[in-house]
Structure 1
Amino acid sequence: MRNKISVGIIDYLNVKPFLYGIKHSSVINDIKLVETFPSKLAQMLLTGEVDLGIVPVAIIPEMKEYYMVSDYCIGCNGPVATVCLFSEVPINRVETVLLDYQSKTSVALAKILLEKYWKISPVFEDVKEEEFRHRITSTTAGVVIGDRAFEQRKKSTYIYDLGEAWKDFTGLPFVFAAWISNKPLPDGFIHAFNEANAFGLMHIDEVVQENPYKLFDLKQYYKYNVSYVFDDNKKAGLDAFLLLLKKAKPQVI
């Protein structure tokens, strides 16, 4: 019996189309699925605990060896809805920013945009606790990602969408996470995995039916907010982000 490929996935709504495709494809027989949150998954890929994962792209500079496996990613070409800076005051009055521990890419993007796009220099605070959002008050803002951002949209007075800000800043789409492996994988597996991703994206209606959600229109989210195809424009956006990330170190990470 051949060894299964360990595939890390995040338990966010934006990944559900991929998960649907994988679970409805024969490729599921060749893999072992591992579910966690983005920054933890990134660490697992770096240490070799998983072979392949839909990981925050900010880890790319830390990898000694990496391979972009799929034609699909978690990206956007404008407002993404689930990666936002939330506050109770306008951005120019923000003094402290709480940084969501769950994603390195979103945190790095927020820092770059705050410096270069909004041109402010708040105090940054890394938060490790799950429930930090109650601290978003007065002049303290917070970067919130994933499904929790849907909840926060109902609470905060000001919502600054990082995907929209990046598009306005650079004119390019943004890639938050991509399918990256830490070793070469068989061509046959890559082809089947890619087809599984595509299958999931062709069945958005079924994905929405399987994941009833009251806080946001998931059909709109999947079709208009998240942009899944890892095309040349996305690659240009990713290159621009990695260049800014390199220039910003060590302040950003």
Structure 2
Amino acid sequence: MSLHVGEIAYTNTLPFFFELDRSSLEQHGICITQNVPANINHMLASGELQAAAISSFSYGKNEKDYVVLPDLCVASAGMVHSLLLFSKVPINKLEGESVALTTSSETTVHLLKIVLKRFYQVTPCYKQEKPDLANMLTSHTAALLIGDDAIRERHADAPYVYDLGQLWYEWTGLPMTYALFAVRKDALESKVEEINMLHQSLRKSYLRTAADGYRQISRYLERKGMASLSFWDMYFEALLHQPTSKTEQGLLYYFQLCYEEGFLEREVPTLSKWRPTTSVIKYKQ
């Protein structure tokens, strides 16, 4: 039986996958599927995947079923450049206004709702839309885009553009974690060697891409035409791909606010972390 792994099809997780030896992983029974965060989240929750890079909110919603792979995350302490709210009015004037939400991710949608209600005391009317900025702003006062969709539209002609990573950091003083790597608990015992290999490979890929200041990966992305080399240098410089006590503190605070707002059914006071081993699987609560 193979270990089915989900890859988020956004550049913020690319350092973990850029240097993977995919053919070697396949030979060892590790199969990788790429999709947008919302679909990857669903596939892991349903058991179609056994491990995946997932939205942070999806971990909070399913934490009883998951463990987190250590040393891997996507976070920022300030601007993230790919979670953008485009608005026709100032953010503090969005009370009762119509805000279009991307269908691509749950983490950012709930982050926006928290930022607007808790920090700006405004509650708009939300509606989910496909991530097409022009269409979104035709019918709505503001629109939320994430990932590569946001990067493509970063120079759009909108009166106000807000970076949610920056807003979160300004109000909390804490980093925000957008994605984690999770493994289903029911796959731990039967897939120990594959999980070990996956974890080591993801970390090795990240370390290799970071070793040259992300220059190789930035050149690769520049050739794809989405943004300039200087943008990608700035983009990866802003991201945190290794968790710290501060990133965990920020993530748990995000979960706390999600619970208080009714977005999560249960509190998430800690992260269940997988401990790499070649014998008996252990994880801690």
Q: Answer whether TM exceeds 0.5 for this pair.
A: yes
| Mapping 1:16-95, distance limit 5 Å | 16-23=14-21, 26-27=24-25, 29-30=27-28, 31-63=30-62, 64-94=64-94, 95=97
2:249 to 192, 217, 236: 236
CA displacement, residues 82-141 of structure 1 (integer Å, 9 cap, x when unaligned): 0111112211233121111100000000000000112211111122x3435433259610
Structure 1: how far apart are the matches of 2:204 and 2:22? 8
Structure 1: how far apart are the matches of 2:175 and 2:217? 24
TM-score calculated relative to the size of structure 2: 0.80
Greater Cα radius of gyration, structure 1 or 2? 2
Describe the SS at the equivalent of 1:98.
Answer: strand
1:210 to 220, 245, 248: 220
Higher mean C-alpha displacement, 177-186 vs 155-164? 177-186
Describe the SS at the equivalent of 1:115.
Answer: helix
Structure 1: how far apart are the matches of 2:8 and 2:59? 18
Structure 2: how far apart are the matches of 1:69 and 1:173? 19
Describe the SS at the equivalent of 2:120.
Answer: coil
Q: CA deviation at 1:37?
A: 0.5
2:132 aligned partner, one-letter code: E
Describe the SS at the equivalent of 2:43.
Answer: helix
Whether the aligned pair in 1 keeps the contact of 2:55 and 2:179 (CA below 8 Å) is yes
Distance 1:49 1:104, change over 3 A: same
Structure 2: how far apart are the matches of 1:29 and 1:179? 22
| Mapping 1:1-253, distance limit 5 Å | 3-23=1-21, 26-27=24-25, 29-30=27-28, 31-63=30-62, 64-94=64-94, 95-127=97-129, 129-136=130-137, 140-155=141-156, 156-183=158-185, 184-185=187-188, 186=191, 188-201=193-206, 202-203=208-209, 204-212=214-222, 213-216=225-228, 217-223=231-237, 225-250=238-263
Distance 1:250 1:191, change over 3 A: closer
Whether the aligned pair in 2 keeps the contact of 1:110 and 1:162 (CA below 8 Å) is yes
Whether the aligned pair in 2 keeps the contact of 1:21 and 1:198 (CA below 8 Å) is no
Whether the aligned pair in 1 keeps the contact of 2:131 and 2:145 (CA below 8 Å) is no
Describe the SS at the equivalent of 2:39.
Answer: helix
Whether the aligned pair in 1 keeps the contact of 2:51 and 2:184 (CA below 8 Å) is yes
Describe the SS at the equivalent of 2:109.
Answer: helix
- Number of matched pairs: 248
Distance 1:101 1:90, change over 3 A: same
Distance 1:132 1:153, change over 3 A: closer
Over the residues paired in the alignment, what is the CA RMSD in angstroms? 2.3
Structure 1: which 5+ residue stretches go unaligned?
A: none
Q: CA deviation at 1:144?
A: 0.4
Q: CA deviation at 1:193?
A: 2.8
TM-score calculated relative to the size of structure 1: 0.89
Q: CA deviation at 1:190?
A: 4.1
Higher mean C-alpha displacement, 202-211 vs 42-51? 202-211
2:93 aligned partner, one-letter code: R
Structure 1 vs Structure 2: percent identity of aligned residues?
27
CA displacement, residues 171-217 of structure 1 (integer Å, 9 cap, x when unaligned): 11011110011125355444433332333233222222322245251
